[in-house]
């Protein structure tokens, strides 16, 4: 139940992070950068962080936490499914009688001749 909830949150956060990253403009994306405009904006002089950059940091943090949580929960789920309960008494399966293989050739039981005599 918890694992499924974290997977759903993780997928939702993934799409939110993709959207937040795609909506941001990169460094030097202004029209002034194409014509030799202000070099400070091209080389990373930034003002205060805007809403999208703060949102990206928050969403990326939640994404990393859900990734770590899923990794831990997946390891516990896998370990729990492979643990053998040694407290249970395991009874051997009931012995069934298997038919014993016969050493006679099939042609000898049918009353026919041996394969070498048929040729």
CA–CA dist 38, 47 (Å, integer): 14
**What's this model's pTM, rounded to 2 decimal places?**
0.52
CA–CA dist 63, 15 (Å, integer): 10
What are the structural domain ranges in the chain?
2-82
pLDDT tens-digit map of 26-51? 765 555 555 655 545 544 555 567 88
Instruction: Using pLDDT thresholds of 50, 70 and 90, give the confidence band for residue 17.
Output: very high
Cα dihedral sign for 7, 8, 14, 17? negative
């Amino acid at each position: 139940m918890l694992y499924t909830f974290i997977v759903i949150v993780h997928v939702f956060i993934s799409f939110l992070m993709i959207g937040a990253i795609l909506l941001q403009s990169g460094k030097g994306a202004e029209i002034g950068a194409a014509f030799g405009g202000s070099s400070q904006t091209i080389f990373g002089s930034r003002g205060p962080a805007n809403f999208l950059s703060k949102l990206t940091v928050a969403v990326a943090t939640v994404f990393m936490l859900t990734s770590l949580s899923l990794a831990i929960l997946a390891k516990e789920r896998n370990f729990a499914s492979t643990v053998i309960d040694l407290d249970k008494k395991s009874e051997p399966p009931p012995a069934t009688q298997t038919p014993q293989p016969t050493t006679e050739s099939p042609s000898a039981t049918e009353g026919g001749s041996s394969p070498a005599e048929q040729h």
